[in-house]
Structure 1
Amino acid sequence: MFLNRIWGLYTQPKVQWHRVDRQHESLRYSLIHLALIALIPTISAYLSTTMIGWNFGSTTNSTFMLTPRSALAMAMSMYVGLIFGVFALAYLIFWMAGTFGATPSFANSLELAAYTATPLFMAGFSLFYPEPIVIMLVGLAGVTYSVYLLYTGIPIVMRIPEERGFIYASSVITAALVLLVCLMTATVLLWSWGFGPMYMN
């Protein structure tokens, strides 16, 4: 069921959203889906920064690796941040619903947010080939498809007209971008206060 749902989001997104609408899963199922899918970028980042190394230049001397302890702390922070981000997205969907004539439960909103974030999280597999250009391109593809899923999913799951769903999704994305900027600012501040990564010698 879990893999079928993910595969369906890639192959037949609108058909899959209609299935989601007909067979709404429980809040517990959405939480399990989110907890598992968020492990992909987290584990990939930990393994790539401790066993493979990141190359930011053209010479072999520019490969950087984190200490296992630092990488673990960063990975755990990343996992919490990803979970928080999806919950924040779900809250935005739930909070804005009334404005656009939708009446979802928070479980429905979380379900929509978790499935929407799935392509972005699966792009975390690119971290096993830690070249910045590759990660950027795969990440961009993940973001693009996640946005597409949000635009196609909101009218179906929220049961509102497509034109209203378009404005609804655009509003959610705008608010999500503001949230992303806030999270990035918080990360920069934490790093400047000494909570940044520790590199291996």
Structure 2
Amino acid sequence: MDIAKLVERVKSILLSPRSEWPVIAAEPATVKGLYTGYVMILAAIPAVFGFIKGSLIGHGMFGVTVTTSIAAGIVGMVMGYVLGLVMLYVVALVINALAPTFDGQKDQVQAVKAAGYAWTAAWVAGIAVIVPWLGWLVALAGGVYSIYLLFIGLPHTMKCPPEKAAGYTALSVVIAVVLSWILALVVGGVTAMGVLGGAAAGSSARTHVTFDEDSRLGRIAALGERMQAAAEAGEAKAKAGVGADAGGGPADAKSQAEAMGAMMGAMLGGSKDGKPVESLAPDQIKAFLPDTLGGLERQSISSKRQASMGVQISEASATYADPDGKVRVNVELTDMAAMSGMMAMAGVFGSESESETAHGYEKTYLRNGQRIQEKWDGRTNRGKYAVMIGDRFQIEAEGQVERFEQLKGIVGDMDLRGLEKQAK
């Protein structure tokens, strides 16, 4: 194994993918060689760092750090690693099976190349899991960049027309998400391979499969429809001559980038045309934190809207307290409009949990389609009540109160219907 060569390949695929993909596609390779020389090494990164975070560093909250036992951590690391390797090969099978649908050429080795090298960004981003608070954002960015790498790589590895790469990528990603969910159910002891078989057969035969809109698969299907519609809009623009060369050739890199951007925008939470949804302006989001909540007077308030790489996030924060200062609660309202698609996916794959101690409890659950989190420490009378509204607005009420119900009352006094309307 040539470590220097492996590191150079990682740098090249991440920093200059457009020039590296033709090199990758032309290289002679075997599935075994790709796994032993690249995939098995890179796939170990998120597994190992996940173990370090869970069993050695731990997850901290309210001054309490929770760690998983070393034995349980090792089991989880090994299982996650093995399933990751299996998952990548299954995704490669899907990419290969879909090739003719998008005028590409079937080649299993090239499909493994497409999936394996595109997955590089997500694997490398797995290092960030040990970073408190912001690690999940880096991991998310890695996943998004992996989708972009797949989009660039498919025309070289699977020989599909560049103008069809966006649709090819969209469908491959959606099926991969469904597969991930099914594998998670298998790990949990639930057999769901029948669903996979039906979904795969439906895709290849171009039949119409309908899911309950409120079900997990229904929400995944809705996301796939948005991504596919955005990709098709980009293809239609290319066919109409936008970005095409003078001889009527395929769309140029700019048109391809626009199609990919539209697809990613739809995935993150935009409309079917891929245009991002703007988050509320500072004065608009601040209006949802009135002068009084739950019988407490507002002591201070602030709001802001930030944008990075086209993604907007608005935040408003206010402190409420009683006259003698015994009850003091901080309320934060976050508008993640540009990330609503990802928030919806988090809800699809999220789990419910509950734990108790001698002095308090912590639980996460779903009620009326809303994800709710409760935490309470009876020794300090400090707690937190958080709820997600419409996969877009996150409300958190945290602080010192006489009883936990006060936190619920504070959130309940907010204009939740108004937030629900904004989320639609």
Q: TM-score, normalised by structure 2?
A: 0.42
Structure with bigger RCO (C-alpha 8 Å, 6+ apart):
1
CA contact (8 A) 1:24 1:108 kept: no
CA offsets per residue over residues 77-130 of structure 1, 9 Å max, x none?
11012112111110111111122222232111111111111111111111222x
Cα distance in structure 1, aligned partners of 2:122 and 2:155: 21
List aligned pairs for 1:47-126, cutoff 5 A.
47-55=52-60, 57=61, 59-61=62-64, 63-126=65-128
Cα distance in structure 1, aligned partners of 2:76 and 2:189: 15
Question: Where has structure 1 moved over 4 Å in runs of 4 or more?
Answer: 187-190
Cα distance in structure 2, aligned partners of 1:87 and 1:21: 17
Match of residue 143 from structure 1: 143
What is the deviation of 1:26?
Answer: 2.7
State which of 33, 49, 53 in structure 2 corresponds to 1:44. Answer: 49
Match of residue 32 from structure 2: 28
CA contact (8 A) 2:129 2:136 kept: no
1:19 maps to amino acid: V
State the superposition RMSD in angstroms: 1.8
Higher share in helix: 1
What is the deviation of 1:74?
Answer: 0.6
What is the deviation of 1:161?
Answer: 1.4
What is the deviation of 1:44?
Answer: 0.9
* Stretches of structure 1 lacking an aligned partner (at least 5 in a row): 191-201
* Stretches of structure 2 lacking an aligned partner (at least 5 in a row): 191-424
Cα distance in structure 2, aligned partners of 1:67 and 1:46: 10
2:182 maps to amino acid: C
Cα distance in structure 2, aligned partners of 1:157 and 1:184: 29
What is the deviation of 1:29?
Answer: 2.5
What is the deviation of 1:187?
Answer: 4.5
Cα distance in structure 1, aligned partners of 2:179 and 2:31: 23
Q: TM-score, normalised by structure 1?
A: 0.85
SS state of the match for residue 147, structure 2?
Answer: helix
Q: How many residues align?
A: 186
CA contact (8 A) 1:27 1:107 kept: yes
Higher share in strand: 2
Cα distance in structure 2, aligned partners of 1:189 and 1:60: 34
Cα distance in structure 2, aligned partners of 1:181 and 1:17: 29
